[in-house]
Amino acid sequence: MDRVPPDFLDIPPRPGKPRPAGITHVLDPGIGPAVLADVLAAAADLIDIWKIGWGTAYVDRTLLAKAAALAEAGVDLCLGGTLLEIAWARGRAEECLVWAADTGFTHVEVSRGTVAMSLAEKGRLITRAARSFAVLAEVGSKTPGEPHPARHWPAECRADLDAGADLVVTEGRQSGTVGTYDEHGRVRADVVEAVVAAVGHTRVIFEAPRAAQQAWFVRQFGPGVNLGNIAPGEVLGLETLRLGLRSDTADLALPAQVGTEPAC
């Protein structure tokens, strides 16, 4: 039976795809086609970018089937930056990009968090990738305790966009304990403020794998904030945060007078 959507609450409007903002970027750690089908059945209209994480694209025998399902559902497919970094370090970046295009990837992530790569080398890789793909340029190291990201990330973000990246991505990993976050998963507000001051929040996807982190960004920038590294099973949960349908952000959608006594 077709679902009858409820309409008894006033909730923030969410633009349809392709969305200029409010992007939900999912990290696929290697799920199978059956799980993917379930996620798409429940939430395809809420997912903008589906990233195949780490090097799993190289070993996933169901990748072509997943790529076809995502294309049919209108979800952009992104190659994770780690695989491209490794290919670049071995002198095989061009072969990797050709393979990615043939496989059906529409986006690639360009990063330098795993191998030693200069900013100039990253810029050249972005420019090359941008000839064939939409490019997400990630800033930050995957190693905990990266020194002074608030000082270094803004210039790298600007350089990445100048080189041809469509969006920049702030590192958070699947754990949510590096880069944008401290070792306890708390948002490093100075890092976020520095990046936003440099390029604006609409040009950034903030990796935010934890619900508390997602809530922080929604409270800071509103439901139209771009969030990444969302687990496949957490897409609907994130949407409830965006719409004020979860306790962490419910107060943002409540009328001011609710729960207050009239003034005497």
- Which residues, in sequence order, are bridge partners of residue 28? 52
DSSP state for residue 30 in the 8-state scheme: S
Token pair 């903030």 is found at 206
Helix-strand-coil percent breakdown of the chain, rounded to 5?
45, 15, 40
- 152: pLDDT strictly greater than 50: yes
Quick one: pLDDT at residue 264?
38
pLDDT band at 176 (very low <50, low <70, confident <90, very high): confident
Rounded CA separation 146/140 (Å): 8
Does the pTM surpass 0.85? The reply is yes
pLDDT digits (tens, 9 = 90+) for 191-219: 999 999 999 999 999 999 999 999 999 99
- DSSP string covering 195-243, please? HHHHH-GGGEEEE--SHHHHHHHHHHH-TT--EEEE-GGGHHHHHHHHH
Quick one: pLDDT at residue 196?
98
Quick one: pLDDT at residue 256?
62
Domains of the chain: 24-247 (3.20.20.70)
> How many angstroms separate the first and last alpha carbons of the chain?
51
CA distances from 47 to 79, 169, 238, 257 (A): 16, 17, 11, 34
How far out from the chain centre does Cα 33 lie? 21
pLDDT band at 144 (very low <50, low <70, confident <90, very high): confident
Give the residue-averaged pLDDT of 80-89: 97
